[in-house]
Structure 1
Amino acid sequence: MTGESGARGAGGTDPVRASAAELLDERDEDLLRILRECHEELDPMPDSVVQRSLFALAVEDIDAEVLRLVEQYQPAAAGVRGGEGEEARVVTFDSDSLTIMIRISQQADTVRIDGWLAPPQACRIELRSGERALGTAVDAEGRFVLEAIPRGLAQLVVRLGEPLTGGGGPSILTPAIVL
């Protein structure tokens, strides 16, 4: 049945058009309050949920293309002139229009990212980590470097278009990774 002759609730009211306040009485409100208190006590929300949710929602361009994690490779420690080993990790992200390969090098208390875009193009790239954003230009060969990055959860945002401002084109995002 459609139109005005559709389903009606008790007393001839249309439950679709009735507000939630009209459908819930005091007993329903008490039951919902008790359920909320039980969940808060027995299964509280982890502290990091809000931070991770805000991080995920910090995307400015809803229409942005999202890359997928393709490969993660951690080579054995490589020797350097000082005799100490350097740990590095190579991560590759891919989409239909762009591939990003990054090398994450561990430094004293921070990390360094050396990255390459394919196909190479001059643009701007940002690294978002919590409430902090670090940005740099990508050269015409598709290479970029981000230094002194704090460890933790981070995400790369490629801003296609003019290299310094990143304006004029769409954004491409990586999933969040742990540095």
Structure 2
Amino acid sequence: MNGGDPNGRLDELDAVVLGNVREMWQAIDPVPRDLLGLIDVALDLAGPGAEFLRASTRQELVAVRGGERAELITFDGATTTLMVNITANADGTVRIDGWLTPPVSRQVDLRMTTGTVSVTSDDGGRFAFDGVARGLAQLHVHVGGGVTTPSIVL
């Protein structure tokens, strides 16, 4: 572009053209209003020494009660396996039931764009979050240096 500037610097015409391009993209493909929150969740990592789990299996289940749908996700890591069952509630929220292997009582954080909620698993590694709003979420277990799942959409 550079409007004929021999040194390649942008001039006023370039600024006008680029401003028009920006306005066009803002009109046809605006930045999602919750993008900053999504970025915060994605970047809110556990810190040095943390283990990051990977989703090894994901399956949709049809429950026997009234045709309810649920999703079962298994996350695997070097030291920990985390299985979660996500079930839709009638009010539009979800319930997350989880199991840790090896079974151990630990703090489990559910990180969302709206904040973090924590529970403690029982000695068998079982835990639950109920009435969770749908959206992007990440689970973090306080075991060893910590284990964290990738972000999932509830």
TM-score range, shorter chain: 0.7 to 0.9
Aligned partner letter, 1:50: L
Match of 2:60 among 69, 74, 84: 74
The answer for the alignment partner of 1:119 in structure 2 is 102
The answer for the alignment partner of 2:129 in structure 1 is 146
The answer for the alignment partner of 2:67 in structure 1 is 85
The reply on whether 1:103 has 2:103 as its aligned counterpart is: no
The answer for the alignment partner of 1:46 in structure 2 is 31
Q: CA deviation at 1:85?
A: 2.7
Identity of aligned residues (%): 35
Q: CA deviation at 1:96?
A: 1.2
Listed as ranges, the gaps of 5+ residues in structure 2 are 1-6
SS of alignment partner, residue 75 of structure 1:
strand
Q: CA deviation at 1:125?
A: 0.3
Match of 1:175 among 142, 146, 150: 150
Q: Using a 3 Å threshold, how does the CA distance of structure 1 residues 172 and 38 change in structure 2: closer, same or farther? A: farther
Q: Using a 3 Å threshold, how does the CA distance of structure 1 residues 138 and 77 change in structure 2: closer, same or farther? A: closer
How do 1:127-166 residues align onto structure 2 when only pairs under 5 Å count?
Answer: 127-160=110-143
Contact kept, 8 Å, 1:78 with 1:87, in 2: the verdict is: no
Contact kept, 8 Å, 2:109 with 2:116, in 1: the verdict is: yes
SS of alignment partner, residue 61 of structure 1:
coil
The answer for the alignment partner of 1:9 in structure 2 is none
Q: Using a 3 Å threshold, how does the CA distance of structure 1 residues 40 and 90 change in structure 2: closer, same or farther? A: same
The alignment yields a C-alpha RMSD, in angstroms, of 2.5
Distance in 2 of aligned mates of 1:112 and 1:46: 30
The answer for the alignment partner of 1:27 in structure 2 is 9
> Which one is further off, 33-42 or 92-101?
33-42
Listed as ranges, the gaps of 5+ residues in structure 1 are 1-24, 161-168
Q: Using a 3 Å threshold, how does the CA distance of structure 1 residues 98 and 60 change in structure 2: closer, same or farther? A: closer
SS of alignment partner, residue 22 of structure 2:
helix
How many pairs does the alignment contain?
143
Of the two, which has the highest radius of gyration? 1
Distance in 1 of aligned mates of 2:14 and 2:147: 41
Q: CA deviation at 1:122?
A: 1.6
Q: Using a 3 Å threshold, how does the CA distance of structure 1 residues 77 and 139 change in structure 2: closer, same or farther? A: closer
Contact kept, 8 Å, 1:159 with 1:170, in 2: the verdict is: yes
SS of alignment partner, residue 27 of structure 1:
coil
> TM-score if structure 1 supplies the norm length?
0.69
Distance in 1 of aligned mates of 2:125 and 2:64: 25
Contact kept, 8 Å, 1:129 with 1:155, in 2: the verdict is: yes
